[in-house]
Structure 1
Amino acid sequence: MKSRHLAAAAAAALLPLSIAALGTTPAYASASPSASASRTSLPQTLSPAVARSQAKGEVADTQQISVAVSLKLRNTAELDRFITAVSTPGSVEYGHYLTPAQFAASFAPSASDVEQVRSYLRSQGLTVTGVSANRQVVDATGPATKVEGAFGTRERTYVDPAAGNRHFFANDRPASVPSDLAQVVQGVSGLDDHTVRQATAAPHATPSGYGPTQYDAAYRFNQLGTDGTGQTVALWEFDGYKSANLSTYNTQYGLSGPAATTVSVDGANYDSSPGDGQGEVELDSEIVRGVAPKATQLVYEAPNSDQGEIDMAAKIVSDNRAQVVSISWGSCEPDTTPSSMSAVNNSFMQAAAQGISIYSASGDDGSRDCTRSTSGSGVKAVDFPASSPYNTGVGGTNLTLSGGVYSSERAWSSSGGGVSTQFAKPSWQTGTATKRTVPDVSSNADPNTGFAVYTAGGWQVYGGTSAAAPLWSGFSALYNQKAAAAGKAHLGEANPALYQVAKGSSYSTAFHDVTSGSNQDFSTATGYDQVTGWGSPIGDGLANALLGGTGGTGNTVTVTNPGSQSGTVGTAASLQIGASDSASGQTLTYSASGLPAGLSINSSTGLISGTPTAAGTSTVTVTVKDGTGALGTASFTWTVSGTGGGGCTAAQLIGNGGFETGSASPWTASSGVVDNSSGEAAHSGSWKAWMDGYGTTHTDTVSQSVTIPAGCKATLTFWLHIDTSETTTSTAYDKLTVQAGSTTLASFSNLNKNTGYAQKSYDLSSFAGQTVTLKFTGAEDSSLQTSFVFDDAALNVS
C-alpha cells in the first residue's frame, strides 16, 4: 500500500514498501512558553517521533507554520445511533442517508463555535486561511513565534538518525488552548513536518501480471451485469498522475469511461510533475477502471501532511460527489498523533451518515505495521485509516487462477492485520477483542501474483494492499449500480452489511474463505481472521446477498446478458431474456427499466415485446427476482432508429421524464439529484430532479441523448421550480443553463425564483434527423442556497 506518514507521526509518507524513520534519542526539555492563566492541554497533539529523535535547536521565529484546528462534533450519542441504524440492513432507517446540509444542521460544529476559534487565532496574530465546508476544520498560518504563543509550546528542530539523519521540526510538548476554547477544540495538527518519500519499481516493456479480464473473472465481477455507470469513486491521493498513462492502460485492455478528474485540496495538484507516488495513484485509478470502467473517478490530491489529510477528508464529505472512496495511503497507529486520527475520523463519521463507502488498504507489514517507521518491528500495530470503524479495511491474499477462473487463495504473509489501540470495537465486529480489529475483507495483493499497471511510461507489476482497496472500491460501484436498478439503497458504510452477510447462511456463496497462511502474529482461520478478514469477494453472490438486505438466502440468480439490441420505429420487436437460479424450484419474476417506448416485459416469462414508437438509444436494465428475494440483473443498450420514410410518427422521446423509476437512467445525473425527499415537492408523483440547494460552491448536471427523426416537428417541455435563499433582486449568483447539444435554449438564476412550478417549452425542430444531448447544468456559488427543481420533461415529435 501507499502509506502517508501523518505529519505528526514518525512513520512514513509511505508508498508501497517504503522505508520509514526510526528515532533513537529523546528530545531535551525547554523553557516553558508564556501562557494564559487558564489553559487546557491537548495531550494527543505530540508527535511520537519527538521522543526518539535528537533535538538540535529552535525553529526560527519567522518560519511560517500552517496548522489545522479540528473542532468537536455535536450530539455524538445521537450520531452514533443514527450511523448504526442507517448502515444496518433491516433497520427502519437503513439507506436513508443525510445530505451534507442535514449533517451540518444536527451534528457539525456550530457557526458560533467556528467563529470562536477564528477569533482566537486572529487575536494571536495568525492568519485564518480557510474553514472546511463541513465546519470541522479551521486552517491558519503564521510565524513560528505566533504559533508557539497560540498553542503554548515550543517549535524545535530535530534529526532522525534512523532516516539518514533527516531533519524535521515539531512541537516539544502537547499543545494547549485557553480553557473556554477547549470546549469546542478537539485538536491541533501541523505542528510538525515529519514525512518520508519512497522510490518506485522498474518498468517492464510489456504488461505482465493480472489484467482486468483475469481479476474480474476470478472474483466474478463480470457476472454482475453492471459497469459502474452513474457511480463516482473518489481516489484519496498525496501525489499525481499522467492522463496519458491511464489512456495507455485503457487502450491495452479495451476499456472506456469518463476520464479521471483531479480535485485539488489546499492548492495541491501534482499532475504536471508527479513524484514518487505516481505509481500508487495510477495503480488506484487503473484497478478501479478495470473493475468498474464506466464509473466516474475524482482524484483528490492533497499536501502530504496532517493538515492535508484532514482537509481532504473534510472536502470529500462536504463535496458529497462520490458514493465510494478508495484509500491506499496510511501510517501505523503508534506513530500517528491521536489528535490527527480523530480529526480525520470525524469526517469518516460524516461519510457514514451520508452513505459513502470507504475502503482502506490494511498495510503491507503484516501485524507489525510500524516495521519501516519510528516504532519499529517490535510493536504489534495496525494501519490508519484502515483501523477507523467507518472504513472497510482491506487485507491481502495470493490468488491462483486455473483456466482463467478462480482456483485458490492463501493469505499474503505481509497482509496488514491486528488490533487497534485507538478505536473501540464496533457493535458489528466479530471476535473477543475489546478494540477494533483489522482487516474486514481481502483480495489479491501478493506482488508474486500482482497486477499489470502502466505508470511513468512503462509496464510494472504491482502488489500490496494498495491494489486490494481499489478492487473492492470498484466492486462497490458495480453493486451500487445494481442496487439502484433494483430500487434499493446504495451500500454506504459497508461493514455492518458485509458482516451481516458473512455471519449468515450465504457466507459460502458470497465470500472465498481464506484458511491458509498467516502474517507475523496471526493465522488464518475458518470464518473471520486478522489476516484476511472474511476473505475475498464472490462478486455476484455477494451482491445478491447484499440486495437481500438481511444476509441473503444463499441463492444466486444469474441473468444472461443479450448484448446490444436495435430496432426500428413501427416494426415489432421480440427478445427473450434468459435467467437461472442456483436453487431448484424457484419462481422467477422479471422487470425492466429503460425500455424503449412501446415495449414491455412479461413478468412471468421474461419476453420483451411490442412495437417501438420513438427513435433513440436507451440503457435497459432487466432485474430477475426469485421467491427468496435473491436478485440478478443485466444491462444493455437498445437503439431504435426512425421509420426511414418521409413522414413522422407522433411520439414522446424522453425516457423516465418524471424520474418515477427512482433512478436516473436513461438520464445521466450527478449524485443525489434524482430525489424523492420532502425538502422539495415533485411536480407530479414522488420523484423529481433536484439540482443544487447546498449553499456552497456546487455544480449538478442532468443529461439525456435522444434521436429526433427526420421530418419531425419537435417540442421540449418541462416543469421548473426555483427556490432560493438569495435576497438580491439584481444579481444572478446561482444559474441553471438548459442546452440542446451546444445550443443554449435558456438560462435561469436565483432571480427567477417562483413559488410553484412553471412549464417551459422550446422548439427543437431544427435538430430533426440528429441525435442531440439535452443537458441541464446548475451552478451554485459559495453561499445562500438556490434549488433548481425540474420534473415531467417530455420531447414530443409529430
Structure 2
Amino acid sequence: MSVAHDRVALIGSERKMSKGQSLIGSADSHEKLTVTVQVRRHPNAAAAPDLAELGRQRPSRRAPVDRKSVLAALGADPKDLDQVKQFAQQFKLKAEQADPAQRTIRLTGTVEQFNQAFGVQLKQYREGDRTFRSRQGSVHVPRHLQGVIERVSGLTNRPLAQPHHKLIPRSPSGVTAQQVAQLYDFPQGVDCSGQTIALIELGGGYSQQDLDTYFNNAGIPSPNVMSIGVDGASNSYGDPSGADGEVELDIEIAASIAQAATIAVYFAPNSEQGFIDAVLAAATSTQHPATCISISWGAPEDAGWTAAGRSGMDFACFVAAALGITVLAASGDNGSNDGVYDGMAHCDFPSSDPYVLACGGTSLQLDNKGMLRNEVVWNNGNGWATGGGISNEFLILPWQTADEVPLQVDTGQQGRGVPDVAGNADPMRSPYEVVVDGAWMSVGGTSAVAPLYAGLFAVIAASSGTMPGFIGPYLYQLASQPNLYFDVDSGSNAVQPAPGYSAGKGWDACSGIGRINGNLLLQQI
C-alpha cells in the first residue's frame, strides 16, 4: 500500500474551530508555505540530563556544560530527518534546513501539496477583523513515520500569542528600570559585555533613534542590539499592531540592567511555528550564545496551542535549560482568566512550562522620596492584573510543595504553580518610562518583569563568572534564606468572571516566592 493511503493521525495535532471563528472557504491551493517538522530524539542517544536534580545544585558547583554532548543527547538521528525528506519528495515538497540539534526539517510547497502529503484540508477562517489559514482535525503521517514525526507546525498561521504589556501616556508616577534595580538591590556598575540576552519577539520592531534617545537620557551607552530573523520575519518597526511597544520595552529594560550586554532580538512570525522556532534558534545559537532567553509573549495554555505544539515548546525550553540558559517568561496581564472570559481560570503558556522561570507582577508603593514602602500584587481592578494560577497541562513541579500550591480552582486538580517570582509591573501606579515610536511613554505588564530579571541574571553571570542556568529549583530551595525574597503577601489576581487566587505567606499563585533581592542572590551563586 502506498504511503499516501497508509497514514495515521499524528498524536497531539488535533485542532478544532474555536468560538468566534467562522469558515470562509478553502485556502488558495497555489499558496506557498513552509512548515517545520520535528522528529523524535535519537533512539540510541545517551540519557537526557536530569534537570530537576541539576537545578537544585548551587550554580557555581555545577559541572561546565558540554554543549556538544548535550545536543547529541537531545538531538535527532539524521536518518530520521532523511526519512522525512524522502516522504516530502513523494509529494514534490522541497526539504531543506535539516537540523539534528533542533530535531527539525523545513518543507516548502503549495497548499494542495500539503493537503495531500498530510491528509488535511487547509481552509481560510475569519476571527474578528483578521483572516488566517488553518485546519480542523488531525495531521496525518505515513504509518512508517508514526513515532518518528512528533510535530508539524506551519500549516496554521493564526496569530497565537499576545504581548504582555500595556502602554499609556507618560505618567508622573513613572519609574525607570534603573530605579527599580536599585530598589531591588541589584548589583550596580557591572560590565556585562560578555553576556548575551536573547529576546523573543513575534511582531513589531525597534529603531536605533528610539534606543539612543532612551539610553542617552539614562546616561548609559546604547547597547549592541542584533536583529535576527526566524522563518522570514524581521525587525518591522512601525508595525500597526502596536508590538513596537513590546520590543522596545524589552530592549530598554534588559539593557538598562545588564549594561554593555549584547541584546539578540529574535523576530519570528506570531504563530505556533514561529514561536517555537524562535526559542529553538535562540537556545541552540553558537554565533550568539545566550545567558538568558526572555519571553514577553504568551497565550492561554489551553487556547490556540495544539498538544504537539506545547510539547514542541517544552522541548525548546528543555534544550535551553540543559545548555545552561535561563529561560524567563511573563505570566500574563489579565489576571486569573488570562484573557479568556469563560468564567474559568487559565494559565499562560509558555510561562507554565516546567523549564521556564515564570514572572508575575507587583505594584510598588513608594514614599515621597521614592523609597519603597511596600509591594503588593498588581491588580488595577479593570481587567489588568498579574497572571498566575495552576496549570491544567503540567504536573506540580518537584521543587514546589503541595502544602503551598493550591488545587486548580475550577477542576480541583493539582498542577504546576505559576508564577515563580514577581517584580514591578503596574502600568498605573508604578509604570516604567520607555521610548516607543519616537515618544516617551509609560508601560507596565508582566512583560517588563521577564527582561528585568533576565538583566539581573546576566549581571550575576558577569559578576560571578557562573551562568545561573536552570535556576528555578535552586531559587525554591533558597526560600528560607533571610531577606533573599520579599514575600508579596497582599492582594489578589481575580478578574471577573473567573475565580482568582490570593496572595499569602510563602508561595502563592500571584507572586510566586516573591521578589528577588539581587545582591543577596549573587552571594548564593
Distance in 1, Cα, partners of 2:97 & 2:49: 31
SS at match of 1:330: strand
Conserved in 2, the CA contact under 8 Å of 1:207 and 1:452?
no
1:465 deviates by 0.2
Q: Deviations over 1:592-636 (max 9, x none)?
A: xxxxxxxxxxxxxxxxxxxxxxxxxxxxxxxxxxxxxxxxxxxxx
| Residue number in structure 2 paired with 1:439 | 419
| Residue number in structure 2 paired with 1:500 | 477
Q: Deviations over 1:537-590 (max 9, x none)?
A: 11111221x32xxxxxxxxxxxxxxxxxxxxxxxxxxxxxxxxxxxxxxxxxxx
| Residue number in structure 2 paired with 1:527 | 506
Change (3 A) 1:524 1:407: same
Distance in 1, Cα, partners of 2:237 & 2:471: 35
Change (3 A) 1:273 1:124: same
Conserved in 2, the CA contact under 8 Å of 1:245 and 1:455?
yes
Conserved in 2, the CA contact under 8 Å of 1:87 and 1:94?
no
Q: Does 1:172 align with 2:136?
A: yes
Conserved in 1, the CA contact under 8 Å of 2:361 and 2:426?
yes
**Which of 289, 306, 320 is residue 337 of structure 1 equivalent to?**
306
| Residue number in structure 2 paired with 1:126 | 93
Q: Does 1:491 align with 2:457?
A: no
Q: Does 1:56 align with 2:8?
A: no
**Which of 316, 330, 343 is residue 347 of structure 1 equivalent to?**
316
Q: Does 1:405 align with 2:374?
A: no
Change (3 A) 1:420 1:91: same
Distance in 2, Cα, partners of 1:346 & 1:528: 27
Distance in 1, Cα, partners of 2:16 & 2:391: 17
Distance in 2, Cα, partners of 1:409 & 1:91: 29
**Which of 87, 102, 122 is residue 55 of structure 2 equivalent to?**
87
Q: Deviations over 1:695-730 (max 9, x none)?
A: xxxxxxxxxxxxxxxxxxxxxxxxxxxxxxxxxxxx
Greater C-alpha Rg? 1
SS at match of 2:302: helix
Distance in 1, Cα, partners of 2:472 & 2:168: 36
Distance in 2, Cα, partners of 1:115 & 1:156: 29
Structure number with higher relative contact order (C-alpha < 8 Å, ≥ 6 residues apart): 2
Change (3 A) 1:182 1:129: same
Conserved in 2, the CA contact under 8 Å of 1:136 and 1:314?
no
1:295 deviates by 1.5
Q: Does 1:452 align with 2:471?
A: no
Equivalences for 1:13-24 in 2 at 5 Å?
A: none
Q: Does 1:158 align with 2:132?
A: no
| Residue number in structure 2 paired with 1:236 | 200
1:311 deviates by 1.7
1:500 deviates by 1.0
Distance in 2, Cα, partners of 1:397 & 1:200: 14
Distance in 2, Cα, partners of 1:207 & 1:457: 19
Q: Deviations over 1:52-108 (max 9, x none)?
A: 533232223212232111112246997555323332215998243231x22232221
1:310 deviates by 2.1
Distance in 1, Cα, partners of 2:390 & 2:168: 34
Q: Does 1:115 align with 2:76?
A: no
Change (3 A) 1:113 1:76: closer
**Which of 397, 414, 419 is residue 426 of structure 1 equivalent to?**
397
Distance in 2, Cα, partners of 1:135 & 1:473: 23
1:63 alignment partner AA:
E
Equivalences for 1:645-724 in 2 at 5 Å?
A: none
2:488 alignment partner AA:
V
Distance in 1, Cα, partners of 2:44 & 2:463: 33
| Residue number in structure 2 paired with 1:638 | none
2:263 alignment partner AA:
Q
| Residue number in structure 1 paired with 2:411 | none
1:377 deviates by 3.7
2:124 alignment partner AA:
T
Distance in 2, Cα, partners of 1:380 & 1:513: 23
| Residue number in structure 2 paired with 1:71 | 39
Distance in 1, Cα, partners of 2:320 & 2:145: 26
SS at match of 1:236: strand
1:115 alignment partner AA:
D
**Where does the alignment leave 5 or more consecutive residues of structure 2 unmatched?**
380-384, 408-413, 495-499
Change (3 A) 1:136 1:207: farther
| Residue number in structure 1 paired with 2:357 | 392
1:446 alignment partner AA:
D
RMSD of the TM alignment (CA)?
Answer: 2.5
Q: Does 1:294 align with 2:260?
A: yes
Q: Deviations over 1:365-385 (max 9, x none)?
A: 1111142xxxx3423211111
Distance in 2, Cα, partners of 1:212 & 1:51: 39
Change (3 A) 1:195 1:438: same
Change (3 A) 1:224 1:496: farther
Q: Does 1:473 align with 2:473?
A: no
| Residue number in structure 1 paired with 2:284 | 318
Distance in 2, Cα, partners of 1:340 & 1:130: 20
Conserved in 1, the CA contact under 8 Å of 2:330 and 2:360?
yes
Equivalences for 1:475-624 in 2 at 5 Å?
A: 475-484=456-465, 489-502=466-479, 504=480, 506=481, 508-520=482-494, 521-544=500-523, 546-547=524-525
Change (3 A) 1:179 1:470: same
2:483 alignment partner AA:
T
1:71 alignment partner AA:
V
Q: Deviations over 1:454-500 (max 9, x none)?
A: 1100000000000111111111111111221xxxx321012011111
Equivalences for 1:264-283 in 2 at 5 Å?
A: 264-271=229-236, 273-275=238-240, 276-283=242-249
Q: Which has the higher helix share?
A: 2
Change (3 A) 1:289 1:499: same
Q: Deviations over 1:333-384 (max 9, x none)?
A: 111112112112212111111100011000001111142xxxx342321111
TM-score using structure 2 length: 0.88
Change (3 A) 1:523 1:207: closer
Change (3 A) 1:532 1:237: same
Conserved in 1, the CA contact under 8 Å of 2:362 and 2:424?
yes
Distance in 2, Cα, partners of 1:438 & 1:182: 34
Deviates more, 1:282-291 or 1:116-125: 116-125
1:130 deviates by 2.4
1:401 deviates by 2.4
Conserved in 1, the CA contact under 8 Å of 2:16 and 2:137?
no
2:227 alignment partner AA:
T
Conserved in 2, the CA contact under 8 Å of 1:88 and 1:94?
no
| Residue number in structure 2 paired with 1:220 | 185
Change (3 A) 1:354 1:420: same
Conserved in 2, the CA contact under 8 Å of 1:326 and 1:469?
yes
SS at match of 2:392: strand
Change (3 A) 1:440 1:79: farther
1:443 alignment partner AA:
G
Distance in 2, Cα, partners of 1:249 & 1:441: 27
1:45 deviates by 1.9
Change (3 A) 1:90 1:498: closer
Distance in 1, Cα, partners of 2:354 & 2:387: 16
Q: Deviations over 1:149-172 (max 9, x none)?
A: 111111122233xx24x3322112
**Which of 15, 25, 28 is residue 47 of structure 1 equivalent to?**
15
SS at match of 2:366: strand
Change (3 A) 1:543 1:248: same
1:452 alignment partner AA:
E
1:323 deviates by 0.9
TM-score using structure 1 length: 0.59
SS at match of 2:250: helix
Q: Deviations over 1:303-342 (max 9, x none)?
A: 2222212221221122141111111011111111121121
When the two structures are aligned, how many residues end up with a matched partner?
A: 496
1:208 deviates by 6.0
Distance in 2, Cα, partners of 1:124 & 1:140: 11
